[in-house]
Chain A
């Protein structure tokens, strides 16, 4: 069970895995995620589904800390300790008209199934994908296949337009009527995009990735403030109205266990540190 059936490093430290997990994909829809425990002593890692195959789930993740490093060290044929899914609410896919989809970094992997579904639902889809530099830009070909227009930005100008995803977005919002914006990527990117679209009064959907344990609504670790009310991203989300999200709080909360990133994690009590 949970065997890795394919592995590919699609950008430096960005990996695409397919894992045999029939029950995690049977009822999976775009926008939902799985929780993976790489090894018996491992953490529960929430990862959004990139593709739900017949029996395999495909995920794309970036090596950013101890647990993703362990995950990245695993090879085809090895098995995960656990894969649970699909979790969270599915993305709402409707015919809206013109939708601008914005992906930042590995967020593009989360966005891709929605781009595809939105296009298939009959929308005009503009996609903006951004990365720090050329080598980190992922899924350009896949995104292009389902987009009417694709805009690419890199922070250093090594590929596409130099700048941030908000630059082409601003131009589009100035010139055309947009029915919805979907932004998935680093929290700061989703925050900036939401602030911009608010000025143009365009409904904006973001996908949040707070720290969580069980992923089924039981721990409350993933609570986020939406329109002044506390919601659990794992069961009420992960997608929310970007104009209602308290991003500052989310950024703070995501730092809660940061002292552990990249090192062996253990209890933090005054007795030990």
Chain B
């Protein structure tokens, strides 16, 4: 019999994960990745040599070798509980975390072959817990201290969950009628099924967290109202949901939408379903401007809504795309076209105000800019036009300004992000902030890390008082 170590050395490649056929999936909104079955998960887990290098790359320090070891022993429920110690959204993170640049990149197996599929294993454990209806026995003694969390995205949910475990009475205020923030309105069903998200939110509610929907803090209730209502501390986690436009002529033509609008109509308002009353337009040819995950989500959603031709226009090359490699690869498989080194300069319309075509300019890569990526430079006289009926602007999101506008004494940066210290406290005593509202648009897991830090910071601050 071979030892575990010997076996793992032999397997240079990951156990292949099953996916929906690209020709099939680009016409539905079901999840692309079908996940490992138990046998496959164990086989993949056995590749792991449990060195623990990967943990250095995990923003929430999941005990990765620990939970993988438990999978090997078929102790999936224990594996789930181990992940949950530091990560309250394993089903989400197993799907949307960029493991390839965080934990998996540090896996020594990746040097000769493929790293252990840590994300896919995390996802397996989370899905297995749903399937077997794992109930966590959590006994919490309330300390009767009320904390308000503004926003129910990854930072807000994490902070609320952590504080609830410490005994605080947490209320999350969410402006949408459904919870989850960007996980709900931004990430499509085919990457993160609603039932997975609902389940993880239910777990957080199970800890005693109360979520009040349809409340916009700064408008429905002010921070002063919260103070009067005896909330001892506030955590602002309102995200970066403000759409960016290019400020080129023709952007207000009919048929030009922000990725936020397009995705919100589809993901939050379920425009793709027959029952929904919310309309959406994805009339071919569809152009998506941008190279991030949001651009990929928009392009792939447009395709699924029935648009024959979907073209992503990106000003740099494939190599510089901020989107996850996996997402770009999936998009290509699904028939999305890519025009690299191309940048829109003007959108042209007809006499009724509808988009007709987009004028683009060819780019080339010049010297590296502050981000370290080579700066795209326009090539003189290289303009050309592409016919289009829908243009989805997906060039980034900015911090939501509503709260900062309602609190002039809150210190912000020139980019509109809120300034917070190491404990995530802002310039206002007792007011904490974290997630994209502090860093600008980043990852789900980074937001969760700040949610955790804020929970610790809030406890530290309250115990000092």
Contacts and interface: CB of A to CB of B under 8 A. Distances in A.
Same complex for A and B? Answer yes
Nearest to B253: A252
B177 A37 contact: yes
B284 interface: yes
Contacts of A266: 271, 274, 276, 279
A85 B281 contact: no
B107 to A, nearest CB: 37
Interface string B171-195: 0000111000000010000000000
Contacts of B308: 270-271
Interface string A59-95: 0000000110010000000000111111100000000
Interface string B238-268: 0001110101000111110110110011000
Contacts of B243: 218-220
Interface residues of B, number: 57
A44 interface: yes
B35 interface: no
Interface string A175-215: 00000000000000000000000000000000000000110
Contacts of A235: 401-402
Contact of B260 (A218, A249, A270): A218
Contacts of B260: 218-220
Contact of A26 (B220, B245, B257, B352): B220
B272 A84 contact: no
A84 B214 contact: yes
24 contacts: A23-B215, A27-B220, A27-B221, A83-B214, A84-B220, A213-B261, A216-B175, A217-B400, A218-B264, A230-B245, A235-B402, A249-B252, A257-B281, A265-B271, A265-B276, A266-B276, A266-B279, A267-B280, A267-B282, A267-B306, A268-B280, A269-B282, A269-B305, A269-B307
A219 B264 contact: yes
Interface in A31-49: 37, 41-44
Given A26-B220, A213-B265, A220-B245, A255 B254 contact: yes
A72 B463 CA distance: 53
B219 A67 contact: no
B225 interface: yes
B290 to A, nearest CB: 14
Contact of B219 (A87, A249, A252, A267): A87
Nearest to A266: B274
B283 A270 contact: yes
Contacts of B401: 217, 235
Contact of A268 (B221, B282, B353): B282
Nearest to B397: A218
B43 to A, nearest CB: 39
B39 interface: no
A118 interface: no
Counting chain A CB atoms within 10 Å of each CB, the highest count among B175, B219, B257, B278 belongs to: B219
A268 B308 CA distance: 12
Which 5 A-B residue pairs are closest in the complex by CB-CB distance? A271-B306, A269-B306, A252-B353, A219-B261, A82-B177
Nearest to B352: A252
Contacts of B15: none
Interface string A240-268: 00000000110011011100100011111
Nearest to B281: A268
A102 interface: no
Contacts of A257: 279, 281
B284 A270 contact: yes
Nearest to A83: B214
A136 B102 CA distance: 63
A53 interface: no
Nearest to A272: B306
A26 B218 CA distance: 12
Contacts of A87: 216, 219
B430 to A, nearest CB: 21
A50 to B, nearest CB: 18
A272 B302 CA distance: 12
A249 B177 contact: no
B228 to A, nearest CB: 11
Contacts of A42: 277
B269 interface: yes
Contacts of B245: 220, 223, 230
Contacts of A272: 305-306
B24 interface: no
Contacts of B305: 267-269, 271-272
B142 interface: no
A44 B271 CA distance: 12
Nearest to A255: B254
A223 B252 contact: yes
Nearest to A39: B277
Counting chain A CB atoms within 10 Å of each CB, the highest count among B177, B185, B214, B221 belongs to: B214
A155 interface: no
Contacts of B177: 37, 81-82, 84
Given A86-B220, A213-B261, A268-B282, 18 more contacts: A24-B220, A26-B225, A27-B220, A41-B273, A44-B278, A82-B214, A84-B177, A84-B215, A213-B264, A214-B264, A216-B400, A217-B242, A219-B260, A220-B261, A252-B354, A257-B279, A265-B276, A271-B307
A256 B257 CA distance: 11
A44 B222 CA distance: 23
Contact of B402 (A26, A216, A264, A270): A216
A44 B269 contact: yes
A23 B174 CA distance: 12
A249 B352 CA distance: 9
Counting chain A CB atoms within 10 Å of each CB, the highest count among B175, B221, B225 belongs to: B175
Nearest to A32: B219
Nearest to A265: B279
A268 B307 CA distance: 9
Interface string B101-118: 000000000000000000
Counting chain A CB atoms within 10 Å of each CB, the highest count among B277, B280, B354 belongs to: B277
